[in-house]
Amino acid sequence: MTVQPIQPTLTLMATTFNRDQLQVQLDVLKERKAPQIALAGRSNVGKSSLVNALARRRQLAKISATPGKTRSINFYWVEPDGFALVDLPGYGYARCSHEERRHWAKLIEYYLTDRSELGALALLLDCRIPPQALDRDLADFASGQGIPLLPVLTKIDKCSQTERAKRQQEWSRLLGGISPLAVSSKEMRGIDALWAAIRSHAAAD
């Protein structure tokens, strides 16, 4: 007999655009004593697609034809575990104003600072792109805050085995030996393994 992995359900709790709205949700979660797992990555890394893949729902998170267009911090409630998945805005989108980039960078930084209820930061990394400074900066910042990292290579259907192994090695070296999980939202590969990792980080908190 094989044991089927549980499929958790994701419900959108709130969409927030600024520090005040963010703080309201953080207070709600604090009240519930609920841990959080954050998702972050460069704009277009496949974050919305991954939220949908995790939820096994095609349209929970909007997949952008125009990357970087609508940005927000989205809170999803995970049952039966009882924790929040926090979808941070994509960063590094060149075609938006300096001011706007600064606003979101500041908000991400605020969210990641002194966030003891954060069980892990899932850092999404495109399988086709060699390690970039922005991703490393975020990883360093999170590590400096004592936040466990859960690196995730996305879009592995677009990479050869060789390229994927190379990326995993590069990231593992940069992240002090943590090798990224590999996923494809398009082909639903690695999604159960990612759920298992997310849930164990949430539970360990």
Query: Three-state secondary structure along 72-96?
Result: CEEEEEEECCCEEEEECCCECCCCC
User: CB count, 10 Å around CB of 146?
Assistant: 10
Taking the least distance from each CB to Mg ion, the nearer of 4 and 66 is 66
Taking the least distance from each CB to ligand GDP, the nearer of 25 and 52 is 52
Q: Please identify, among the stretches 41-49, 115-123, 143-151, 188-196, the one whose residues bind Mg ion according to the rule CB under 5 A.
A: 41-49
Q: Which tokens belong to 168?
A: 């995993």
Q: In the stretch 45-84, what mask flags binding to Mg ion with x, by CB under 5 A?
A: ---x------------------------------------
> Which residues within the stretch 93-152 sit at the binding site for Mg ion (CB under 5 A)?
none
**Residue number, nearest CB to Mg ion:** 48
Of 111, 89, 82, the C-alpha closest to 40 is: 89
The set of residues, in sequence order, having a beta carbon less than 8 Å from that of 163 and lying 6+ positions away, is 127, 128
Of 127, 131, 194, 135, the C-alpha closest to 165 is: 127
Residue 16 binds: one of Mg ion, ligand GDP, none (C-beta under 5 to 8 A by kind): none
Min separation Cβ 64 and Mg ion, Å? 5
Min separation Cβ 55 and ligand GDP, Å? 13
